[in-house]
Amino acid sequence: MEKRSRERNRRRHPGARLAVGLAAVVATTGVASLATPATAAVVCQVTYTVTSQWPGGFVADVAVLNSGDPLNGWTVTWIFPDGQAVTSAWNATIAVTGGQASATSVGWNSAVPSGRTVGFGFQGTWTTANSVPAAFAVNGVACGSSGTGSGTTTTMPTTTRPTTTTTGPTTTTRPTTTTTSTRTTTSTTTRSTTTTISSSGGGNSEGLVGFAGLSGYGRNGTNGGAGGETVTVTTYSQLAAAVADDAPRIVRVSGTITGSGSAMLDVGSNKTIVGVGSTATIDGFGLDVNGWGPEEVARGGDTCDPAERDTFPHVGNVIIQNLSFRNSPDDSVNVQCYSHHVWVTFNTFHPANDGSVDIKRGSDLVTVSRNRFVGTDKSMLLGHSDNNGAQDRGYLRVTYHHNHFDGSNTRHPRVRFGYAHVFGNYYRVSDYCLGLGAEAKIYADGNRVASAKTITQDFDSDAHLTWTATNVYDPATITRANDSGKTMADWLNADNTIAPPPYTYPAGPAPSTPPVAGAGASGSDRI
């Protein structure tokens, strides 16, 4: 459902929201004083992060911290030592000539206040090597040339593509995982990855596991409104005012808040929205983590498109916790338009007119954990359209863990173009558990299917699932497994080609009973 009425009163802070991916290798230049064309004194630090690498290609993230006077327009330059090339970029205009690269601001992120970080990213190619670039400069002055800090040297990762044996879902061995920053995992899909998390701002809230806890888009993890003021709201107007801007804030929802005619309420960056006690309820509307504001709607229509990615600020660092959602005329929670670092945890979802938790349109680094879905129809969507690959490829990385699907129907989740790590969940559903859509990539381990019509539902032939031996189910409780003439591929279609996620997590055995989940559960309101 795309057309909707929405509460939009957000105050904009250009340059406060950033972009790109999952941290793998970081090189940080020194800190240096520099002068802009307007002779403003600036102190800069540039952090270069290789977020992923494969033979002949890579993705990188660049974050520029301005610790001096405000910048009004910026150009970052550097030298590629091995002749690397850039094939696509976001949040900057990038040109490369003879190894000399330059990245220039793109309007909305031109202004960088003192103490703020601006980021951009790109996908590139390499041939013989992919060494860390050298000689970073901002507006013509080298970072580190006269600064007090010293640069750090890091090695590039050694990453091998997965090797796969397709032998059916019951032959996958349980992963073994080390708990250090270097993780080696062994299963039918094998991968050895060295991961270094960058130290750019943020940090994680207690208990956070999965993609929302990783670095990227100029920040390190998700902590919501930590460090900001705490307010308690009891009415829709109070809630709308408290979540509208991007200032850090913990918003405590007390009692039941009912809608005022708008289907979705926009949520700004750096917010923790947490229910008080066991009765906090959002009734008659949903929460939309979405930076596509009123001026963007007036200029470009109701939703963001790939061509508009660099024209508006993106929402990041949001926690939605310990709330019951009822009767939304649209979705209960929507994460869209390149929003990132979002944690949806310990909520109870009752039926909405559309989905319960929809994540789409280039959003990334999200964790959905310990929620209870009671009789919901369309529980969780990752990627909204088979025709949206241009916007979604390389994004939509989401962890779903220890959720309780309690008599729900479909989409647990349904995936298009994204990577979903699904572990520790408990399924008692009337239709399918996992929807295999266009270019879906799902790694599922340690889940228990108590009952379902089918474990997988095929929507596209170009979808891939690893289903490890740690998942537990009884074919007698899978309706399609008992239909005449059906094979296992008709109700559990796993090719075991998807590698594990790039983080340490408590894999554990499949839960024998529903996990602790939902609003009001033990520990659900802990901040």
**CA 213 to chain CA centroid, nearest Å:** 9
| pLDDT at residue 9, rounded to an integer | 52
Q: Is 173 exposed, middle or buried (0-12, 13-18, 19+ CB in 10 A)?
A: exposed
Q: Is the pLDDT of residue 156 over 90?
A: no
For residue 242, what is the DSSP state?
H
Work out the percent of the chain whose per-residue pLDDT is above 70.
Answer: 80
Closest by CA to 280, choosing from 243, 311, 326, is 326
Q: Give the whole-angstrom CA distance, residue 65 versus residue 349.
A: 39
Q: Give the whole-angstrom CA distance, residue 86 versus residue 50.
A: 13
Paired tokens of 92: 């900057």
| pLDDT at residue 260, rounded to an integer | 82
8 Å CB contact between 139 and 71: yes
Q: Is the pLDDT of residue 235 over 50?
A: yes
Measured CA distances, 448 to 73, 109, 469 (Å):
53, 45, 11
Closest by CA to 70, choosing from 115, 114, 16, 118, is 114
pLDDT (tens digit, 9 = 90+) per residue, 50-62?
A: 866 767 878 787 8
Cα Rg, the chain, nearest whole Å? 23
Question: H or E element: which one contains 19?
Answer: none
Q: pLDDT band at residue 322, thresholds of 50, 70 and 90?
A: very high
- Given the candidates 1.10.8.60, 2.40.110.10, 2.40.50.180, 2.160.20.10, the CATH classification of the domain at 203-306+313-491 is 2.160.20.10
| End-to-end Cα spacing for the chain | 33
Question: H or E element: which one contains 14?
Answer: none
What is the three-class DSSP state of 60? Answer: strand
- For the chain, residues classed under CATH 2.160.20.10 are 203-306+313-491
For residue 269, what is the DSSP state?
S
- For the chain, residues classed under CATH 2.60.40.290 are 30-142
Q: Give the whole-angstrom CA distance, residue 29 versus residue 31.
A: 7
Q: Give the whole-angstrom CA distance, residue 224 versus residue 251.
A: 10
Q: Is the pLDDT of residue 85 over 60?
A: yes
What is the three-class DSSP state of 467? Answer: strand
Q: Give the whole-angstrom CA distance, residue 472 versus residue 478.
A: 12
pLDDT (tens digit, 9 = 90+) per residue, 251-266?
A: 999 999 999 878 999 9
pLDDT (tens digit, 9 = 90+) per residue, 355-378?
A: 999 999 999 999 999 999 999 999
Is 411 among the residues known to form the active site? yes
Q: Give the whole-angstrom CA distance, residue 252 versus residue 418.
A: 32
Paired tokens of 509: 């055995």
Beta bridge partners of 369: 345, 401
Q: Give the whole-angstrom CA distance, residue 58 versus residue 135.
A: 20
| pLDDT at residue 364, rounded to an integer | 98
**CA 151 to chain CA centroid, nearest Å:** 29
Sign of CA dihedral 155, 24, 109, 70: negative
Paired tokens of 90: 């976001």
Q: Is the pLDDT of residue 396 over 70?
A: yes
Paired tokens of 484: 């005449």
pLDDT (tens digit, 9 = 90+) per residue, 197-211?
A: 222 345 778 889 999
The per-residue DSSP string of 395-455 comes to: --EEEEES-EEES--B-SSEESSSEEEEES-EEE-SSEEEEE-TT-EEEEES-EEEEBSEE
Q: pLDDT band at residue 527, thresholds of 50, 70 and 90?
A: confident
| pLDDT at residue 384, rounded to an integer | 97
pLDDT (tens digit, 9 = 90+) per residue, 24-37?
A: 344 555 554 444 44
Higher pLDDT, 218 or 334: 334
The per-residue DSSP string of 494-515 comes to: ----PPPPSS-----PPPSSPP
Q: What is the CATH number of domain 30-142?
A: 2.60.40.290
Torsion of CA 134, 139, 141, 147, to 10 degrees: -90
Paired tokens of 245: 């801007």
Measured CA distances, 133 to 28, 141, 153, 212 (Å):
10, 16, 11, 28
Question: H or E element: which one contains 241?
Answer: helix 236-243
pLDDT (tens digit, 9 = 90+) per residue, 137-154?
A: 898 888 853 322 223 333
| Mean of all residue pLDDT scores within the chain | 82
| pLDDT at residue 162, rounded to an integer | 30
Closest by CA to 60, choosing from 73, 75, 70, 47, is 47
Q: Give the whole-angstrom CA distance, residue 365 versus residue 1.
A: 23
Closest by CA to 374, choosing from 514, 263, 480, 258, is 514
Q: Is the pLDDT of residue 335 over 50?
A: yes
| pLDDT at residue 10, rounded to an integer | 47
Higher pLDDT, 103 or 155: 103
Q: Which of 309, 372, 411, 480 is catalytic?
A: 411
pTM: 0.67
Q: pLDDT band at residue 493, thresholds of 50, 70 and 90?
A: very high
What is the three-class DSSP state of 377? Answer: coil
3-state SS of 168-231 is: CHHHCCCCCCCCCCEEEECCCEEEEEECCCCCCCECCCCCCCCHHHCEECCEECCCCCCCCEEE
